[in-house]
Amino acid sequence: MRNIAIFASGRGSNFKAIFQHIQRGEIPATVVCLISDNPGAKALDFAVANRIPQFVIPPKAFATPREFGRELLNVLTRQRAEWIVLAGYLKKIPDEVVRRYRNRIVNIHPALLPAFGGKGMYGMRVHQAVFNSGARISGVTVHLVNSEYDAGPIVAQEAVSLEDCAGPEQIAEKVLEAEHRLYPRTLKKLLTTGFSVMGNRVIFEENK
């Protein structure tokens, strides 16, 4: 069993999908807390309803990113979190947290990285950019988090065809369905299979 902390800023549908897989015994993990920067996040309601300890920690309450990072580490240590799972978390993870949880922070991005990622590329902005580009496929990327937005080692990807999508809303819907499949499956693999990281590549032991 691994202790995981979920970070979410909004709706929390990925958090919910992961939690449901855990409850069904499909991922050997315990959600030790939900951390949000946003007091209005819907994800908090889900945590309350499921008796998961929740913490609202807005970065702007701290004078520096470093102090913000220290507070996050205090809570993570107190809750005994071993992994951090970002599920629609919009703030930058401070460097001290990235260092302490090296290769144990996971994020999901609603496009096929390294395209359509980076600072400011989140939510509908991603799907709008994909739509405008004329790309015929988009998809989902699960990656480990380093100190740069959306640039950490890629763990898993799933492509979706956009042939039947008439606008960014339809892309968002199709991609979200794929997210709810790929994130729980990939998390299970990360928690149960040994892996190493070489450059930006993740190498699972079973593939060696």
Q: How many residues bind ligand GRF (CB under 6 A)?
A: 14
The nearest distance, CB 206 to ligand GRF, in angstroms, is 26
- The region of 32-40, 77-85, 107-115, 158-166 touching ligand GRF under the rule CB under 6 A is 107-115
Pairing of strands 29-36, 195-198: unpaired
Of 109, 127, 143, 180, the active-site residue reads 109
How far apart are alpha carbons 154 and 126 in whole angstroms? 18
Residue pair 56/33 in contact (Cβ under 8 Å)? The answer is no
- The region of 28-36, 75-83, 103-111, 160-168 touching ligand GRF under the rule CB under 6 A is 103-111
Site for ligand GRF in 57-96 (CB under 6 A): 87-88
Is 127 designated active site? no
How far apart are alpha carbons 187 and 103 in whole angstroms? 13
Nearest to 194 by CA among 183, 205, 186, 203: 205
The site map against ligand GRF for 148-177 (x = CB under 6 A) is ----------------------------x-
The DSSP code sequence of 14-46 is HHHHHHHHHHTTSS-EEEEEEEES-TT-HHHHH
Does residue 139 interact with ligand GRF by CB under 6 A? no
**Which is nearer to ligand GRF, 6 or 32 (by Cβ)?**
6
- Token duo for residue 173: 């819907």
The site map against ligand GRF for 3-22 (x = CB under 6 A) is -----x-xxxxxx-------
How far apart are alpha carbons 145 and 126 in whole angstroms? 19
The catalytic residues are 109
